[in-house]
Amino acid sequence: MADFHEFYPLRRHNTFGFDARARFAVHVRSEADLVEALADPRANGLPLVVLGGGSNVVLTRDLDALVLLMEIQGYQVEDADDAWLVTAGAGENWNALVNRTIADSMPGLENLALIPGTAGAAPIQNIGAYGVELRDRFEGVRAYDRHAGVFVWLDQRACGFGYRDSLFKQAGAGRYIITAVTLRLPKAWQPVLSYGELARELTGKFALDAATVRDAVVAIRTRKLPDPAQIGNAGSFFKNPLVSAAQRDTLLQANSDLVSYPQPDGSYKLAAGWLIDRCGFKGVNDGPVGVYGKQALVLVHHGGGTGAMLLALANRIADSVEARFGVRIEPEPVVL
Ligand SMILES: Cc1cc2nc3c(=O)[nH]c(=O)nc-3n(C[C@H](O)[C@H](O)[C@H](O)COP(=O)(O)OP(=O)(O)OC[C@H]3O[C@@H](n4cnc5c(N)ncnc54)[C@H](O)[C@@H]3O)c2cc1C
């Protein structure tokens, strides 16, 4: 029986730690809970908000909505000859899942270690880190289709993954509620060390295994990123903007130390952290919100602030970057 909570506090359900209340919130621990919550007359006419770990959202106000707190557990492994197919309930903690697959001798997720949040949210923005994206290890999701009123299977193609992007942020926004994710972990494993900092961290290490790569990723991330348990944040706040080769060349002429990464289609990704740093925002605080001192891409909440204050700072930063470099940087988290 799905339990409805009224005026439910969400501070512990978002890693920025902003205070906001949900008109109604329900702990969804099974697909039956989900169907029941959606059919409840109290949900009638209210917008729906799906929350996993709240590590990629900015709560700007109380939500006059039904908030689904996704807590469906589950872990199953299928042997598919050349790969392991691992299915996790949407509410499984992502990092615990990474560690469990490695402990169970199924490498492949090590570069994605220590990303906060749930398995069910991983496809939403096609999480990525250190040269690997979810889509590189992805088979499909089981989701409730709110338009058709049925559960569906969406494969890699249907999910339309892009850089921090997917069907779930585009044409399918608000339509699907993911209840389980299936990952494809090839048995023929190769470490992915394309990311310079990770390769450097592993210099001198031989006979690399997934646990060693995972430990290196964890070491780098721990040095660079604030722990949300200590200081409110949502990881990288801005996406790295994509520009044409011509635009990147023009910027490079004026800024010889510009940080950019070539993309397979000939365009370039600019390091948003570098752009923000150059505009002088690194370590700058605006009352209770600010820019992390060790990484300009991360916005932080020191306590007592609001999501609206954070967004105002984010806009100021984006305006400043645009004025100086002619490039608009876009927020990565979902603003609610
Ligand atoms: C310190 C830190 C470091 C981070 N590093 C990275 C990184 O390296 N790479 C990266 O890609 N991200 C990173 N993130 C962002 C974040 O961890 C990921 O986006 C994560 O996948 C969000 O999971 P969540 O469960 O917290 O999602 P939430 O924040 O709860 O939700 C995010 C979005 O997904 C939707 N959603 C959640 N669950 C479901 C579901 N079951 N069905 C349908 N929609 C759903 C929500 O409605 C919302 O729109 C970082 C965040 C922090 C705080």
Residues in CB range of 39: below 8 A, 6 or more apart: none
Annotated catalytic residue: which of 21, 23, 142, 164?
A: 164
The C-alpha angle with vertex 43 and arms to 40 and 48, in degrees rounded to 5, equals 125
Annotated catalytic residue: which of 55, 166, 236, 260?
A: 236
* Beta strand segments in the chain, E: 4-9, 21-28, 48-51, 57-58, 63-70, 75-80, 83-89, 128-129, 132-133, 138-145, 150-155, 176-186, 232-236, 242-243, 260-262, 268-270, 285-286, 289-291, 298-301, 334-335
Same domain, 80 and 49: no
Last residue of a domain, one of 70, 105, 128: 70
* Sole residue written with tokens 């492949």: 108
The fraction of the chain above a pLDDT of 90, given in percent, is 94
Among 195, 262, 260, smallest CA distance to 224 is for: 195
Residues in CB range of 74: below 8 A, 6 or more apart: 87, 88, 89, 92, 180
CB 299 within 8 A of CB 287: no
Last residue of a domain, one of 23, 44, 70: 70
If you average pLDDT over residues 329-336, what whole number do you get?
Answer: 95
Among 222, 233, 219, 218, smallest CA distance to 292 is for: 233
If you average pLDDT over residues 264-276, what whole number do you get?
Answer: 95
Question: How far does residue 123's CA lie from ligand 1's centre (Å)?
Answer: 9
Q: Which of 114, 124, 310 to mutate to test the pocket of ligand 1 (most atoms within 8 A of CB)?
A: 124
Please state whether beta strands 128-129 and 176-186 pair in parallel, antiparallel, or not at all (unpaired). unpaired
Identify whether 13 is part of a domain: yes
Same domain, 290 and 313: yes
Q: What is the pLDDT of residues 169-202, one digit of tens each?
A: 999 999 999 999 999 999 999 999 998 899 999 9
CB 53 within 8 A of CB 118: yes
**Total structural domains in the chain?**
3
236 is catalytic: yes
CB 138 within 8 A of CB 184: yes
CATH number at residue 100: 3.30.465.10
Determine the Cα–Cα distance for residues 65 and 87; give it in Å rounded to an integer. Answer: 30
Farthest-apart Cα atoms in the chain, separation: 63
Asked if the model's pLDDT at residue 44 lies above 90, the reply is no
Q: Which domain, by its residues, includes 266?
A: 232-335
Same domain, 177 and 265: no
Determine the Cα–Cα distance for residues 297 and 317; give it in Å rounded to an integer. Answer: 10
Among 113, 123, 197, smallest CA distance to 162 is for: 123
Q: What is the pLDDT of residues 157-175, one digit of tens each?
A: 999 999 899 999 999 999 9
Same domain, 244 and 182: no
How high is the pLDDT of residue 1? 65
Directed axis angle between helix 210-224 and helix 94-103, to 10°?
A: 150
Same domain, 9 and 65: yes
Last residue of a domain, one of 186, 201, 223: 186
Residues in CB range of 57: below 8 A, 6 or more apart: 14, 16, 51, 234, 333, 334, 335, 336
How high is the pLDDT of residue 110? 98
Identify whether 246 is part of a domain: yes
- Tell me, what amino acid is at 63? L
If you average pLDDT over residues 58-80, what whole number do you get?
Answer: 97
Same domain, 181 and 80: yes
How high is the pLDDT of residue 272? 97
Determine the Cα–Cα distance for residues 73 and 96; give it in Å rounded to an integer. Answer: 12
**What is the number of the ligand 1 atom nearest to the C-alpha of 127?**
11
Q: DSSP readout, 229-261?
A: TTSEEEEE-BPPPEE-HHHHHHHHHH-TT--EE
User: Which residues have C-beta atoms less than 6 Å from ligand 1?
Assistant: 15, 50-57, 70, 90, 115-118, 120-122, 124-125, 127-129, 177-178, 225, 228, 233-235, 334
